[in-house]
Amino acid sequence: MNSSVLELITIGLSIKISRSDGRVHAANVKDVHPEKCAVSVEWQEGSATKGKEVEINELCSLNRELIEYLKSSCPAAPVPKQLNKYETRLRSSRIPALTEATDRIPPSEASVSRRLVVRRTGVM
């Protein structure tokens, strides 16, 4: 139950908390700690901001109506569709093939490159 409840709790949610002196009042969730099964909350008291960490069991006992509402309003997560590895769009390389590159060279430039090759390799 704890992990499913923690998934419903979001930062900024207003919940009821119990103080050490027994008072119960509202506080806002500031952080969720799944590894500790707890949440950090803050509230205003006069001009000061106070905070504490509340265990999930205490949160559930003080906020039963809220938890039930969150469970009923949260739709079940849809099962992701398994994609065939060939269904995804393949990207083609933007590097032109060798035949395409030689077809695009204008004749005037091709003759210059041929002359350079002849000059470098030819002995005069």
Q: Is the pLDDT of residue 48 over 90?
A: yes
User: Residue 38 — φ and ψ, nearest 5°?
Assistant: -150, 165
Question: Is residue 124 one of the residues assigned to a domain?
Answer: no
The predicted structure's pLDDT at residue 4: 76
| Rounded Cα gap, residues 123 and 91, in angstroms | 47
The reported pTM is: 0.55
CATH number at residue 50: 2.30.30.140
pLDDT band (50, 70, 90) for residue 50: very high
Find the helix or strand (DSSP H, E) in which 5 lies: helix 2-8
Whether the pLDDT of residue 30 is over 70: the answer is yes
Q: Looking at residue 40, what is its pLDDT?
A: 94
Structural domain that includes position 34? 2-73
At 114 the pLDDT is 55
Cα–Cα distances (Å) from 84 to 78, 79, 92, in that order, read: 18, 15, 19
Q: Is 69 a member of any domain? A: yes
